[in-house]
Structure 1
Amino acid sequence: MLKALGIFQRATAEHLWRMLRPGDSHDRITRDTLNALKGDGKVRVVTRLKSGHKLWVLTEKGRKEAKQLLPRNVRVSVLLKPEYDAMGRPVPGEGYDEHAAAVTLTAAVLTGVGYGTPLSWQTEIAHRLPYGYTQYADLIMRAPDAGVPAMLLEVDRVNEPVDELVDKLRRYTEWFELLAPRTDAT
């Protein structure tokens, strides 16, 4: 849990369940683990999404532990510090929570169907382009052995659900595995 939150910064129990325990029939173990980590002061709920799901983030204590658990070549996400108004009430986020949750859900679904592992993914990685431009990809899957980007995804699913994306990737994979005409299969 700490590793996944260290990579993705924000996640619901469903996202973590789909990514880390896809063989389980429900997310009960994941929710219990998150509540235990909350009791230890390692995670906290940052908000509730429109869907009603709690969105979990690491605390400073949890981020330090996640950093120790993750390999050195994996970038740990920035700590999302809580903000409070003058009355001491939590200030709502700037609207990134729904998008961050969509990015994490995409990685969770893709991992659950066999595309990468939780450690394969990174978020918001800059790619320098010619003429001084920098492009940020929402989600990147690195090839495990080579350490180079194998898949870059922009997650703006206003019109394409993640299940359709998975089906599309499966078809692309099948197509790329086809042999070229007149090629020896050995």
Structure 2
Amino acid sequence: FSTIITGIFVGVPALFVNMDMVVDLTSIGTLFAFALVCGGILVIDPRGTSGARFTVPYLNGRLLIVLLLLGAGLAWYYDRHNGGAVQASLRQFVEDVNGTTAARTGESWYSVFRHQIPYLVFLLASLAIMVVTFQKKLSLLPVLGLLTNLYLMTQLGINNWTMFLVWLLIGLAIYFTYGYKHSRLNKAAVG
């Protein structure tokens, strides 16, 4: 029964919305769910030491920091001596952020910059995850899963992020409203 109801709630709006947006919203929702699973593993069992039948294999996440820094350094070195594609990409990013691209294309600074917001959030989140991974020796696999999913989410564009956040806020409002009214703890406190 729940599959039919879900199909109706997904299928009917899909008739009236651009199919590319439906596909992108499905992708961002799925990637967000995977990111939540990876983050949940890091919170519940960061070292894979629980007595459960299945645990995620623990690989020291400090390796992640070293490998990422080494990879970035090698990419930068290789790029300097072989064409400069990474430097050109970074230069374009800086031009987008400081408004040079906007002046060149005739668009407003914000209309160019707003498309970089998910990427900036990803960079800040990545730095925070790297620091926490180094400090707490988190497992490598969930950290890589979390970073990969967050990166893939950044590639879906600001319009998809806006729609996703609106949909997420509506869902959270329904969830907490229903939970507050139908909570067994709330009934026990009142009765």
Bigger helix fraction: 2
TM-score normalised by the chain length of structure 2: 0.26
